[in-house]
Amino acid sequence: MKTKVLAGALLLSLAVTFPDPSAGQDPAPVGYISKDRIVEMTRAADASMGAVAPSTAALEYFVTLVDPVHVRMFVCASRPVDLRLAASLGQAVEAAANPVLTVEFIAVTGDLTEPKGPIAENGVTAAPEMIVYWMGSEVGRLHPASGAVVEEDLASFVHLTRTQIAQEMLLDNEFFKYTYHKDLLDLDCKRCHGPAGEAALR
């Protein structure tokens, strides 16, 4: 009996001396969250974040965008990996300073139970998830992995998607009349910009 009492006292002492490390911590935010708050939380978790500059290649592409591109990114704010990806994207978009390129962030719980509205409305099945809109329409989703250069992934995705859509619209003169496409070098533009095509467009 004495041994059991001593063991119980020891466990109680340990519980008092070493409290739950999560006690007192602020819960991770849920819902719409600003880029600045994302960056602040990322730097609190990883001081090296401030030394990371956005990808030059991605910035060079972002500044050339003419038609609107919007990204809605869902992240689990309790996971530093998610925060780092979101912070990198937010800083890259800010550095590009192109008003047609915008991004918004929505923090979710790890089990995707909150916030119910945005998760259900957007059909989110995993986090992090980036929903990409071009000219107001959803054109695809990205699920960046840990360590990804997320701004480069976005730039590549947007360019490839625009090229694919343009290829599908090659016979639609109205589309090309009002949609910027001079940078889509993979297109075969002879139909429109060859002698016969230019005469038909006059």
Classify strands 31-33 and 137-142 as parallel, antiparallel or unpaired: unpaired
Residues with Cβ within 8 Å of 118's Cβ and at least 6 positions away in sequence, in order, are: 31, 32, 74, 106, 108, 124
Residues with Cβ within 8 Å of 123's Cβ and at least 6 positions away in sequence, in order, are: none
Q: For residue range 148-179, what is the model confidence (pLDDT) as tens digits?
A: 999 999 999 999 998 887 776 655 455 555 45
pLDDT for 113 beyond 90? yes
Q: Is 141 left (phi over 0), alpha (psi -120 to 50) or beta?
A: beta
The pair of three-digit structure tokens given for residue 72, joined into one six-digit string:
């809605």
The whole-number average pLDDT for the span 96-106 is: 96
CATH class of 23-148: alpha beta
Strand order of the β-sheet with 31-33 is 31-33, 101-108, 69-76, 129-134, 137-142
Strand partners, 72: 104, 131
The whole-number average pLDDT for the span 83-89 is: 94
The whole-number average pLDDT for the span 50-58 is: 83
pLDDT band at 185 (very low <50, low <70, confident <90, very high): very low
The whole-number average pLDDT for the span 73-95 is: 94
Q: For residue range 19-50, what is the model confidence (pLDDT) as tens digits?
A: 343 444 567 889 999 999 999 998 888 776 65
